[in-house]
Chain A
Amino acid sequence: MSRLRLIPIILLLWLVSTFAWRLIKPADPAVRSQLVERTLPPFTLAPIVAGKPGFTSTDLATGKPRLLNIFASWCLPCIGEAPVLEKLRQRGVEIDAIAVRDTPVAVQTFLNIHGDPYQRIGTDPQSAVQITLGSSGVPETFVVDGRGVIRHQYVGPLTEANIPGVIAQLEALK
């Protein structure tokens, strides 16, 4: 009988240790795409600015790994990310972009001011493709291998510190 009476204490200790674990290791608020390590879902994106073609999901399977950047002209962290993407482009990284909920004029202005590291830019006016990709915000960057399989997802802006990692990842996928 007296052992039975210890059950509440044991349950409490279990509960408290779970709570303590969560306090020490706070939840990662980033939403991870379920499509990492899977082939890109089929989509078609129309062009949004003159001189930059749109693209489809199959266009990304070029035999060479590349980045798929999700951005918007109205997104402040994207401005911070723009020079990083430019540096990656200078080192030979090929980048395509999806402009989310944007207008041609705004995107063109953004590119004029903050630089244009992109090969192709497709427009996603209702975030439909973004949601299909499992992306929950802007900016996000997917590493896509030569067969059109998503190999990695960066949530939030890429920074200078990410550059060596991204280059190494793309090299490894070649």
Chain B
Amino acid sequence: MIAETGLAALWLTAGLAAYQLVLMLLALRFDLPVSRSIRAVAVVQGLLSLLAFAALLLVFARSDMSVALVFANSHSDKPFIYKIAGAWGNHEGSMLMWVTILAISGALLALFSRKLSERTLIAALGSQAVLALGFYAFLLIASNPFDRLFPAPPNGQGLNPLLQDPGLAFHPPTLYLGYVGLSVAFSLAVGALLTGEVDGRLARAMRPWVLGAWVLLTLGITAGSYWAYYELGWGGYWFWDPVENASLMPWLAATALLHSINVLAARGALKAWTMMLAVIAFSMSMVGTFLVRSGILTSVHSFAIDPERGTFLLALLTIYVGAAFALFAWRGATLKEGAPFELVSRETGLVINNLLLSVILGIVFVGTLYPLFVEAVSGEKMSVGGPYFNAVAGPLALVLAVLVGVGPLLGWRRERRPVLRVLRVPALLAVTAFVITIILSASISLLVRFGFAAAAFLAASSILPLVRRNPLRTPLATWGMVVAHFGIAVALVGMAANAAFTSERLAVVQLGETVKVGPWLVQLEDVTPTAGQNWTATEAQLRASRGSGPISLKPQTRYFTDPVTETNEAAIDTFWNGQLYTVLGKADPSGGWQVRLWWKPFVTLIWVGGFLIAFGGALALGGRLWRMRTRGPAAASWRRERYA
């Protein structure tokens, strides 16, 4: 019954989405007063899709093996949290989750969007309905999550053990929330292009959505990077894998959008560009979803490879993005650009920021899809990896990092103050950092040395907007900006330190033998079998010391039975100045064990920085929402823009 209820809710909500679209067309074409009814429909549509998703969670929680999806992705012996996570650890469930979030965000838009003009809101809700309708059709026609099996099998096939990890329980939902947040920005842009009301009001209505989506994408990418780092046992934090790039591309577009939207909100400028970015950001989420779900690119993440699903998603992508681009071509020319600005101004800074981010986005996009393009044209197979991305995007990212420190110091419209003088201290720090890297080691690459220098510059200059200001009277949004920009510097130090100072050791070690990695002496004391709820393992006992008292690490090789899989559980010990990362490999014919050891100084700063960036975004979001509540939209709108 639960599965049938879910399916019925899905059909109903699809019908409502169609109705929502009709209402929007009536309103725009015949000026019918639909604003109350379309809001109500959007809210009910959100609730019904939530009901469908709740039904799916429930069948997973109860391990109802008569539902085909549960059978294929769950097992009654699994820990409870992974039973729940199993609901979205597969294609159908994740698509249902996607559309549920989409529908709920539509409902929130209908409930809380007071500042927007009614016509634009109705048009945006209509656009949301089109987006949702495509995904409902996709679920109901090509991937019904509630299909039954008869007779019901006694037990399920299990969930990939790599996914049985707390990180996974939250990583996809976070990214999906981010992607779908961008769908609201997309719909608002489409709505505004339809009604022609691209102005500061629209930017201020769009901004919390972009900010929220961006915070979640940042968190999702940071958490995903850490998950890959400790779960895969390869000791790397970013592999330029197509699926990682698929999450990075919307983030880059959203970052650009986040900054250009401020120009639109404050100065009414960059209208066409901001609308284009809003469309591109969501398009990148769609491209990402398509790449991941169709499995057309080789990746460690290769999920189901299914031409039917791929075709469906590609059709949705073409319709949505094609329609938005066509709308842009049709209406874009009617947009009047806002207030002019001078060469040295915050606007210029943000334009350069946008250009650099767009170029980096282009580089990642081309690099990710280049093998596909080449094979389509010449039939030749090739792959594009880290060396390309690091060499091409790396220097640009460093230039951007330096400019991130300068931009916030510039005033809107024109800057006549001698800003460069303020930057003497950060510049001095950058030079010092560069010199220190030369003294420390001769073998560091130039890019990494510049990485340290840029990080030092940014760390110092990012806090300058707070200097000589009353911290209590500084708006939360400014604090958020400072924290996020400082977070970039922190992450940059982590990346540079990881590139420059990591020590790696791959050795066959006999019991009792000691090997050296970086400052550490690591002794293999014992290798013993052990077991958990649904796995058995071989566990090594390592004793590591560097001068002070020894510590114990226990890396494992785990064997899962449902399905049969082997995973490496790295043992990682974190210190203030780095991480000791140990992996147990196979037994060697000589009687020893393969052991892989890394000493990674300051590597944790990468993720600390990532979380700081997200936290900064959250602060800014909190500040903006709080102002909207307490001072009302009118007061918030002009006051908020004065935080230079």
Closest to A9 in B: B325
B311 at interface, CB cutoff 8 A: yes
Instruction: Check A5–B298 contact: CB distance below 8 A.
Output: no
Which chain B residues (343-360) contact chain A, with CB distance < 8 Å? none
B269 CB to nearest chain A CB (Å): 17
B305 at interface, CB cutoff 8 A: yes
Given known contacts A18-B376, A22-B376, is B325 in contact with A12 (CB within 8 Å)? yes
What is the bound-complex CA distance between A124 and B311, given in angstroms?
44
Contacts of A6 on B, CB cut-off 8 Å?
Answer: 329
Given known contacts A9-B322, A12-B322, A16-B314, is B296 in contact with A2 (CB within 8 Å)? no
Contacts of B298 on A, CB cut-off 8 Å?
Answer: 27
Q: Contact string, A3-44, partner B, CB cutoff 8 A, digits 1/0?
A: 001101100110110111111101100000000000000000
Closest to A2 in B: B333
Which chain B residues (270-295) contact chain A, with CB distance < 8 Å? 276, 287, 290, 294
Instruction: Check A23–B318 contact: CB distance below 8 A.
Output: no
Q: Contact string, B154-172, partner A, CB cutoff 8 A, digits 1/0?
A: 0000000000000000000
Given known contacts A5-B328, A27-B298, is B290 in contact with A19 (CB within 8 Å)? yes
A1 at interface, CB cutoff 8 A: yes
Given known contacts A2-B333, A23-B310, is B317 in contact with A16 (CB within 8 Å)? yes
Given known contacts A5-B332, A12-B318, A12-B321, is B326 in contact with A19 (CB within 8 Å)? no
Contacts of B332 on A, CB cut-off 8 Å?
Answer: 5
B372 at interface, CB cutoff 8 A: yes
What is the bound-complex CA distance between A173 and B326, given in angstroms?
59
B592 CB to nearest chain A CB (Å): 16
- Which single member of A1, A18, A21 contacts B369 (CB below 8 Å)? A18
Instruction: Check A21–B376 contact: CB distance below 8 A.
Output: yes
Q: Contact string, A136-165, partner B, CB cutoff 8 A, digits 1/0?
A: 000000000000000000000000000000
Q: How many residues of B contact A (CB 8 A)?
A: 26
Contacts of A13 on B, CB cut-off 8 Å?
Answer: 322
What is the bound-complex CA distance between A1 and B318, given in angstroms?
24
Instruction: Check A22–B372 contact: CB distance below 8 A.
Output: yes
B79 at interface, CB cutoff 8 A: no
Instruction: Check B325–A27 contact: CB distance below 8 A.
Output: no
Instruction: Check A26–B307 contact: CB distance below 8 A.
Output: yes
What is the bound-complex CA distance between A6 and B333, given in angstroms?
11
Contacts of A9 on B, CB cut-off 8 Å?
Answer: 322, 325-326, 329
B388 at interface, CB cutoff 8 A: no
Closest to A20 in B: B314
Contacts of B376 on A, CB cut-off 8 Å?
Answer: 18, 21-22
Contacts of A24 on B, CB cut-off 8 Å?
Answer: 307
Interface centre among A16, A19, A22, A27 (most CB of B within 10 A): A19
Closest to A10 in B: B325
B600 CB to nearest chain A CB (Å): 30
Instruction: Check B372–A8 contact: CB distance below 8 A.
Output: no
Closest to A31 in B: B381
What is the bound-complex CA distance between A18 and B3, given in angstroms?
38
Instruction: Check B314–A26 contact: CB distance below 8 A.
Output: no
Instruction: Check A26–B321 contact: CB distance below 8 A.
Output: no
B373 at interface, CB cutoff 8 A: yes
Contacts of B329 on A, CB cut-off 8 Å?
Answer: 2, 5-6, 8-9
What is the bound-complex CA distance between A23 and B290, given in angstroms?
11
Instruction: Check B307–A16 contact: CB distance below 8 A.
Output: no
Contacts of A2 on B, CB cut-off 8 Å?
Answer: 329, 333
Interface centre among A1, A8, A24 (most CB of B within 10 A): A8
What is the bound-complex CA distance between A2 and B328, given in angstroms?
10
Contacts of A16 on B, CB cut-off 8 Å?
Answer: 314, 317-318, 322
Shortest Cβ-Cβ A-B pairs, 10 listed: A5-B329, A8-B325, A22-B296, A9-B325, A23-B310, A16-B318, A18-B376, A5-B332, A6-B329, A21-B376
Known: A19-B290, A20-B314. 9 other contacts (CB 8 A): A5-B332, A6-B329, A12-B321, A13-B322, A16-B314, A16-B318, A18-B376, A19-B310, A20-B311
Residues of B within 8 A of A (CB): 276, 287, 290, 294, 296, 298, 305, 307, 310-311, 314, 317-318, 321-322, 325-326, 328-329, 332-333, 369, 372-373, 375-376
Q: Can you give 26 contacting A-B residue pairs, CB < 8 Å?
A: A2-B329, A2-B333, A6-B329, A8-B276, A12-B322, A12-B325, A15-B287, A16-B314, A16-B318, A16-B322, A18-B369, A18-B372, A18-B373, A18-B376, A19-B294, A19-B296, A20-B311, A20-B314, A22-B296, A22-B372, A22-B376, A23-B294, A23-B307, A23-B314, A26-B307, A27-B298
